[in-house]
Each structure stands twice: as structure tokens, then as C-alpha cells.
């Protein structure tokens, strides 16, 4: 019973943030259109580069690109309200509430990323049927690959929410989030595989690319989906993701703890 | 019994801010590379005690460290030196445990979620405080009635007017029945009926539940309506810890006479002489005559006699000089402005 009451504030904040994301329905439609356009451009590019040389690699890459676009919001999204609160000092009102602020922000990030991406991903899937067959994404390598993909995607969300929390933790020191977001978002776009699929990088970079934190979000789940990583490797992938989620969360907790101590809200 | 117990106790409470300012001397451009660390004294050695159940006002001009004091007492800021104990806690140390029993409204900042109905924000607060559903619902109904929130409980905060927003903020600060309430400019930007309602609501909360209230405001009407006791702050120093009545008795030495006289009426010489001597200040605009005088130097009766002898007059009001003028004079005498 005690345990339940301990988590209640965070569950409640999580639920409310899920609900809040529903206010942004037109943003989701705009998001889908953007992702489809980007996806088409990338498909065209890889069509020109790969389809003649290696048709299978081309189809794999197309699938990778589309799934990256579907879950774009899991990677690049910021809780604008939290950032605004830190910038304007309204965060004081959260500081006079008995919540652990770092966890509170973390669950808000998580809820935002989950609703944000599924609100875009699910309606976008039927649109794939309108695409020319060569540009349509492949089905998962096997039913078990799909299940492995979903498990690892879930942990991917935990990692990305921790990254977002680090941005907020840094913002508690700098008060402005533009600098840190510009840096982190650039790293995310490159090292998540959003601009160029990480699978296309030369073999000698692959170990590094798989171990680094950003690939935990979408790249590893997608490799499981495509069967590039066999399902047998799922436990290792999950452990790696959990480790990164924990590490990054602890880093954000450190930044929050230090930041809240030194944060000075000026003015009346 | 509880009214006698100490709620807030501050000893030599001090807070200094650090500011990094551009160097003033040195080569042009080069000096801009460096920043000089400056210590800006805010609150300096304030000691005071507030008992449970009191309503206390913090008074002082802009930059007097009123908000700093509130933030120190809320645990948002750490004191540079000195100590404060609030309800048995050291606020900046035991923040999470301490804030369970306090409520705070920062007039310039919002605490409710921007894009969700305020009803949902309130439910989140229920879960944050781990409150019982039934007790919470009863309290929520009590407050929504008293603050007249029911017509917009389902509207997101962004669609509310300033007055509605402020009432919702006050409600959010009181839902968990805090025994201590901090209000930092709660009536800022509100119209008069809203202010009057808010004041009577706060007084009622205090009387009914014995809630201790610490209020900062620039609105003297708030002070006179709510606070028997005031702490006067100026440039970070606690200059007076006194009752509002004592302040009025000390600084409110002027009275004001307001009336309507015919535009063509020429004022009696005796009155002009008094003005010349500085005993009264007079301003005349069309029919309206406004007189401010020191009753120790010249009585109201004498002025009325002089005016009546000169001609007819209507709509006479005699009052204390208004509180804003009084406070301005107090600040001037304390050399704060």
C-alpha cells in the first residue's frame, strides 16, 4: 500500500501529460505530413544510390527510414511548458510541492514522447499502402522479431526521456534551453540514425555505433525488427538499453540536484 | 492554544545574490571578455517571529527583499547566513517534507498546467499530496464555491481571464489545507470586485481554519483589509515590526477634506494665508476643492467655518489621507525613496 502511494504523484502526472498531448492534434497532422515528405525524399535518395546495386539492402534501408520517421517524435521532442517554466521562474510553484522534481519531469517527458509518437505513427501506417510497392516498408523479419522490436522500443523510450531530462537539468543551470537543445538534437539526429541509417555506416564503426547512447532509442529496435540483430540477442540489447537509461537518468538527477540548489529565481 | 505557538521564526536571516557584471574599466572590447563578480545584498539580518493563526503583511518598496524573504521561508532559496525555522522545519533543508503543510501563490507565476482543464490540474495535486478522494472532493467543492470557479473548471488555464486564473491559483494553493499560506502579490492586476472577494475569502480561511498567512502586496487596501500586523522592509533591512494602526497613528497625521464649491467663488483670504503658511495644501479643479491639512495645526472645524462664510458648499467628505500617500511619506521618512 505504501509503495503505491509513493508512485501515485508520478503516475498521475504521467496520465495527465498523456491527456495533454491530445490537445495538440493539429500539430500531429502537420507532423505526419512532414515525416512523409522527409521519408519520400530519403527513399528517393536511396533508390538512386542503392536499388540498382543491392535491391535487398535498398528495401531494408527504406524500412529503416520509414520507421525512423514514424517514431521521430520519440527522439526529437521537448516539453515546451517545462522549459518555459524554468526560463520564467514559474518552476518555483513546482518546487513548493512535495514532488521529486527530476522524476516528475522524467514522467512528463516519457508521456509526451509516447503519446506524441503513437499519435503520429498509428495514423501514418495506412498511408504506406498508397506508396509505390518498392517504397513500402518491409514487414518484420519474423513474429518474434516484432515482439523483440516492441520490447526494445519500450526501453528506447526510457533512454530518450532521460536524454530529454538531461537537457532540462542543464537548463536549470543556463536558464535558456536553446544551446543545449541545439547540441543534443544534432547529436540525436546523427547518432540515432535519423539522417543516415546507422546500418549503412562501414563495419568498423558498427561496434561504437551500437554501444553509444543514441542508438539505444530507435536504431537497436529497428535492427531487431529487420532481423539484422537476431532475436537471440534481445537480452543483451535490453540490458544495454536499461544500463544507458539508468546512467543517463542518474546524470540528470545529479544535474537537477545541483541545479535546484543553485537556481535563483529573481524578482517578485 | 495553537494561536500562541510559533509558526515562523527567523534569526538574522540574510541572503546575498551574486551578479556577474561587465567590467567598467579597461580597454574597450577586451574588458567585455571579463566579468566581475559582485555581491548584491538582498535581505540583511532580519529577525522576526510569527505565531500560528496570524495574518502578517510584508510591506516595502520595490526591491526591498519582500519576495526574497518569502522564497527563503518557502525553502526555494538557501539563506547565505542566519536561520529560519518554519513549523519545525528548516525549509531549504527538508524541502520535500516541509512543503506538504504550506501553500504558496506567486502572483506573477502560474502553477497550474497551461493546456489542461484546471479540474485535471487539481486532481494531479490530489495525487501529489496522496489525499483521500472523498475528503479532497469535499474541500474542492468548498473552495470552488467560495472562489466561484465552477463555471470554468473544464476550461484549460490558457483560456481563462486574469481574475479567473488568480482565483484558480489561490484554490490550488489551498486545496491540501495548508496551515501556512504565502501570498506574493495575490491581487496584482485584479479588478476591485475580485480583490474585495479574494480578501474576504482569505479572512474567512484564516478565521475558520486558523491558517497563518504571510502576504506581500503593494496594494494598501489589501493591507488594511487583511493585516493587523505588518513587517516593513526597506533595502533588505527589517525597519519596523508593528501594527498597521500604529503605522497610521505615526505617519497618518494628515486629513483630507473634499467638497464642491461654485466655480466663481473666491476663496477667503484667511484660507489662502493658511496655505501660504504651509498648514494646508489645496488643489482646485473646476467645482472640486481638495484640501490636505494637519489637524494639529488647523482644525477641520476652522476650515469648514472659513469656507462656509465664503459661500455655499456641497458634497463634503472628511477622511484620513489615503494609505498610498501615507506609505509614500513613510518610505520618504525612512529614506527608502
Pick from B253, B247, B304: nearest CA to B274: B304
Q: Which residue of A has its CA nearest to B118?
A: A16
| Pick from A9, A89, A264: CB nearest B109 | A89
What are the C-alpha distances in Å from A30 to residues A26, A35, A37?
A: 6, 9, 11
Q: Is the pLDDT of residue B251 over 70?
A: yes
As a whole number of angstroms, the distance between CA B214 and CA A18 comes to 36
- Residues A268, B114: C-beta atoms closer than 8 Å: no
Q: What is the pLDDT of residues B285-336, one digit of tens each?
A: 888 988 888 888 888 888 888 888 888 888 888 888 777 888 888 888 888 8
- Residues B123, A16: C-beta atoms closer than 8 Å: yes
CA torsion sign for B223, B226, B228, B234 is negative
| Pick from B102, B103, B116: CB nearest A20 | B116
Edge-first strand order for the sheet with B81-86 is B46-51, B6-14, B81-86
Q: Is the pLDDT of residue B248 over 50?
A: yes
- Residues of A with Cβ-Cβ distance to B66 under 8 angstroms: 268
In chain A, what are the domain boundaries? 23-262
As a whole number of angstroms, the distance between CA B305 and CA A124 comes to 88
As a whole number of angstroms, the distance between CA A141 and CA A144 comes to 8
Q: Is the pLDDT of residue B99 over 90?
A: yes
Pick from A33, A97, A71, A43: nearest CA to A218: A71
Angle, CA of A163, A167 and A170, to the nearest 5°: 130
* DSSP element (H, E) containing B224: helix B220-226
Quick check: A5 contacting B, CB < 8 Å?
Answer: yes
Distance of CA A159 to the CA centre of its chain: 7
Mutate to test the interface with A, among B86, B101, B128 (most CBs of A within 10 A): B128
Q: Judge whether A117 and A73 are in contact, CB under 8 Å.
A: yes
As a whole number of angstroms, the distance between CA A268 and CA A264 comes to 12
Residue A80's SS3 state is helix
Mutate to test the interface with A, among B70, B73, B75, B106 (most CBs of A within 10 A): B106
| Pick from A5, A99, A268: CB nearest B184 | A268
Q: What is the pLDDT of residues A107-124, one digit of tens each?
A: 999 999 999 899 888 988
Q: Judge whether A76 and A185 are in contact, CB under 8 Å.
A: yes
**Domains of chain B with CATH codes:** 2-9+49-245 (3.40.50.300), 253-320 (3.30.70)
- Residues A16, B107: C-beta atoms closer than 8 Å: no
pLDDT at B57: 94
Q: Is the pLDDT of residue B1 over 50?
A: no
Distance of CA B31 to the CA centre of its chain: 42
* DSSP element (H, E) containing B46: strand B46-51
What nine digits make up the cell of B111? Answer: 502553477
- Residues of A with Cβ-Cβ distance to B184 under 8 angstroms: 268
Pick from B189, B150, B199, B147: nearest CA to B169: B147
As a whole number of angstroms, the distance between CA B279 and CA A233 comes to 95
Q: Judge whether B247 and B74 are in contact, CB under 8 Å.
A: no
Which whole number is the average pLDDT over B219-234? 90
pLDDT at B3: 43
DSSP letters spanning B94-134: SHHHHGGGEEEEETTS--S-TTSBHHHHHHHHHHHTT--HH
Q: Which residue of A has its CA nearest to B217?
A: A268
Q: How confident is the model at residue B4 (pLDDT cuts 50, 70, 90)?
A: low
As a whole number of angstroms, the distance between CA B115 and CA A25 comes to 13
Which whole number is the average pLDDT over B198-224? 92
Q: Under 8 Å CB-to-CB from A108, ≥6 apart: which residues?
A: A13, A14, A17, A79, A82
| Pick from B71, B102, B124: CB nearest A265 | B71
Quick check: A261 contacting B, CB < 8 Å?
Answer: yes
Which residues of chain A have a pLDDT value below 50?
A: 1-2
More confident residue, B220 or A64: A64
ipTM exceeding cut-off 0.90 for this assembly:
no
Quick check: A126 contacting B, CB < 8 Å?
Answer: no
| Pick from B104, B108, B123: CB nearest A96 | B104
Q: How confident is the model at residue B95 (pLDDT cuts 50, 70, 90)?
A: confident
Edge-first strand order for the sheet with B180-184 is B102-106, B180-184, B212-216, B55-59, B229-234, B237-243
Amino acid at each position: 500500500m505504501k509503495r503505491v502511494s509513493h508512485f501515485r504523484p508520478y503516475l498521475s502526472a504521467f496520465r495527465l501529460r498523456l491527456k495533454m498531448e491530445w490537445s495538440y492534434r493539429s500539430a500531429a497532422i502537420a507532423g505526419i505530413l512532414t515525416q512523409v515528405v522527409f521519408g519520400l525524399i530519403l527513399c528517393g535518395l536511396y533508390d538512386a544510390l542503392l536499388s540498382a546495386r543491392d535491391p535487398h539492402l535498398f528495401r531494408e534501408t527504406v524500412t529503416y527510414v520509414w520507421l525512423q520517421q514514424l517514431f521521430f517524435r520519440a527522439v526529437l521532442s521537448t516539453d515546451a511548458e517545462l522549459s518555459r517554466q524554468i526560463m520564467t521562474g514559474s518552476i518555483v510553484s513546482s518546487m513548493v510541492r512535495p514532488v521529486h522534481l527530476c522524476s516528475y519531469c522524467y514522467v512528463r517527458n516519457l508521456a509526451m514522447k509516447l503519446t506524441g509518437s503513437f499519435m503520429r505513427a498509428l495514423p501514418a501506417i495506412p498511408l504506406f499502402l498508397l506508396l509505390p510497392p518498392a517504397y513500402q516498408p518491409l514487414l518484420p523479419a519474423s513474429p518474434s522479431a516484432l515482439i523483440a522490436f516492441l520490447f526494445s522500443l519500450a526501453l528506447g523510450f526510457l533512454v530518450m526521456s532521460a536524454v530529454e531530462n538531461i537537457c532540462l537539468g542543464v537548463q536549470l543551470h543556463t536558464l535558456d534551453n536553446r544551446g543545449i537543445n541545439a547540441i543534443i538534437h544534432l547529436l540525436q539526429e546523427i547518432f540515432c540514425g535519423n539522417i543516415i541509417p546507422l546500418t549503412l555506416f562501414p563495419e568498423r564503426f558498427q561496434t561504437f555505433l551500437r554501444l553509444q547512447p543514441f542508438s539505444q532509442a530507435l536504431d537497436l529496435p529497428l535492427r531487431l525488427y529487420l532481423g539484422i540483430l537476431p532475436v537471440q540477442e534481445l537480452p543483451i540489447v535490453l540490458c544495454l538499453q536499461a544500463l544507458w537509461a539508468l546512467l543517463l537518468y542518474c546524470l540528470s538527477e545529479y544535474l537537477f540536484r545541483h541545479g535546484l540548489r543553485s537556481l535563483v529565481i529573481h524578482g517578485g | 492554544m495553537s494561536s500562541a505557538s510559533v509558526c515562523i521564526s527567523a534569526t538574522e536571516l540574510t541572503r546575498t545574490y551574486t551578479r556577474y557584471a561587465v567590467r567598467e574599466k579597461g580597454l574597450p572590447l577586451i574588458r567585455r571578455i571579463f566579468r566581475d563578480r559582485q555581491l548584491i545584498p538582498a535581505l540583511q539580518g532580519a529577525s522576526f517571529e510569527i505565531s500560528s493563526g496570524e495574518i502578517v503583511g510584508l510591506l516595502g518598496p520595490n526591491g526591498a527583499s519582500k519576495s526574497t524573504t518569502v522564497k527563503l521561508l518557502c525553502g526555494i532559496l538557501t539563506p547565505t547566513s542566519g536561520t529560519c525555522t518554519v513549523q519545525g522545519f528548516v525549509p531549504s533543508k527538508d524541502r520535500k517534507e516541509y512543503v506538504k503543510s504550506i501553500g504558496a501563490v506567486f502572483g506573477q507565476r502560474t502553477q497550474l498546467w497551461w493546456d489542461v482543464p484546471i479540474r485535471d490540474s487539481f486532481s494531479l495535486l490530489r495525487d501529489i499530496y496522496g489525499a483521500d478522494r472523498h475528503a479532497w472532493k469535499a474541500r474542492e467543492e468548498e473552495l470552488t464555491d467560495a472562489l466561484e470557479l465552477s463555471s470554468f473548471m473544464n476550461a484549460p488555464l490558457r483560456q481563462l481571464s486574469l481574475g479567473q486564473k488568480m482565483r484558480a491559483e489561490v484554490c490550488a494553493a489551498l486545496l491540501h489545507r495548508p496551515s501556512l499560506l504565502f501570498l506574493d502579490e495575490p491581487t496584482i492586476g485584479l479588478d476591485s470586485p475580485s480583490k474585495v472577494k479574494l480578501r474576504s475569502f482569505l479572512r474567512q480561511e484564516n478565521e475558520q481554519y486558523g491558517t497563518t498567512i504571510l502576504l506581500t502586496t503593494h496594494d494598501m487596501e489589501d493591507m488594511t483589509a487583511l493585516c493587523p500586523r505588518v513587517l516593513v522592509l526597506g533595502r533588505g533591512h527589517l525597519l519596523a515590526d508593528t501594527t498597521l494602526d500604529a503605522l497610521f497613528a505615526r505617519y497618518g497625521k494628515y486629513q483630507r477634506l473634499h467638497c464642491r464649491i461654485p466655480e466663481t467663488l473666491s476663496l477667503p483670504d484667511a484660507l489662502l494665508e493658511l496655505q501660504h503658511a504651509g498648514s494646508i495644501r489645496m488643489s482646485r479643479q473646476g467645482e472640486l476643492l481638495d484640501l490636505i491639512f494637519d489637524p494639529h495645526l488647523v482644525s477641520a472645524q476652522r476650515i469648514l467655518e472659513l469656507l462656509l462664510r465664503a459661500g455655499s458648499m456641497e458634497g463634503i467628505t472628511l477622511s484620513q489621507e489615503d494609505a498610498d500617500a501615507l506609505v509614500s511619506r513613510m518610505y520618504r521618512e525612512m529614506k527608502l525613496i
